[in-house]
Amino acid sequence: MAQKAILGTSLEGICPTYLYKVVLLGSTSVGKSSLAYRYVKNDFKESLPTVGCSFFTQTLKLEVATVKFEIWDTAGQEKYHSVCHLYYRGAHAALLVYDIANKETFNRAKLWLRDLEKEFLPDEIVIALVGNKTDLAAEREVATEEGEEFARTKNLLFMETSAKSNHQVEDIFMAIAQELLQQEQKKASAPSPHGRSTVDLGESGARMGCC
């Protein structure tokens, strides 16, 4: 699935490594930790509610680059809302997770998006809307089309997943990786004074090295 020649031929023979901070946001019990756990450990377990934040890393070796994700899995409880900006500060990508069997969590995801829009410029962050728990299709409250439509109007990536039955979990992270790499390419070909440089080692830019 990896897109070839994404960074052009100038980097032939060199496989760059990109480091991206990815945050998982969403209401309590929508499966943020389970998605991260499935993606990183390929397993499913009932976990305790997250307090504060937990962390995972995953490295993706694509043909054109190596992508290392630093995954920040945040607590979903309402009370953390006031401190949440500390968690997503400097993120390169965000997964807005909701539970397809709980309409309220979908509405909350829209509010999260509004928060992110305040914090980031549109080209500063890749956002994916993720409808989790497709294994609970019988109790579905949010139609696939509804999620899709919202994602389309807001220009977000969209996918429905199930951490429990391992449905499309890897795919959504892969889609994010590709989107991020595409943006790197765009930035490389048309560097803007406001854009982040790929070799910038500062906190906001993706750190790049050679493997």
Partner 1 sequence: WGGCVAPPTPQIRLRCQKGIPPSLRGRAWQYLSGSKVKLEQNIGKFDELDLLPGDPKWLDVIERDLHRQFPFHEMFVSRGGHGQQDLFRVLKAYTLYRPEEGYWDVPWRHLGAHPLSLGLQQAFWCLVQICEKYLPGYYSEKLEAIQLDGQILFSLLHKVSPVAYKHLSKQKIDPILYMTEWFMCAFSRTLPWSSVLRVWDMFFCEASPCAAWRSLPHLSPCRDFRVVLVLLKHTLGSSDKLKSCQGQYETMERLRALSPKIMQETFLVQEV
Instruction: Count helices and strands (H / E) in the chain.
Output: 5, 7
Among 8, 42, 55, 123, binds partner 1 (CB under 8 A): 55
Among 18, 37, 87, 88, binds partner 1 (CB under 8 A): 87
Q: CB of residue 13 vs partner 1: minimum separation in angstroms?
A: 27
Note whether 12 binds partner 1 by CB under 8 A.
no
Note whether 48 binds partner 1 by CB under 8 A.
yes
**Hey, what's the torsion of the CAs at 48, 32, 43, 100, to 10 degrees?**
110
Q: CB of residue 148 vs partner 1: minimum separation in angstroms?
A: 29
* CB count in 10 Å sphere of residue 62: 18
> Which residues are bridge partners to 74 per DSSP?
53
Which CB sits closer to partner 1, 48 or 121?
48
* CB count in 10 Å sphere of residue 160: 21
Give the footprint of partner 1 on residues 101-160 (CB under 8 A).
none
Which CB sits closer to partner 1, 102 or 162?
102
Contact call for residues 13 and 63 (beta carbons, < 8 A): no
User: Measured between alpha carbons, how far apart are the two ends of the chain, in Å?
Assistant: 21
Note whether 86 binds partner 1 by CB under 8 A.
yes
Q: State the residues that interact with partner 1 by CB under 8 A.
A: 21, 28-29, 46-49, 51-55, 57, 70, 77, 79-83, 86-87, 89-90, 203, 207
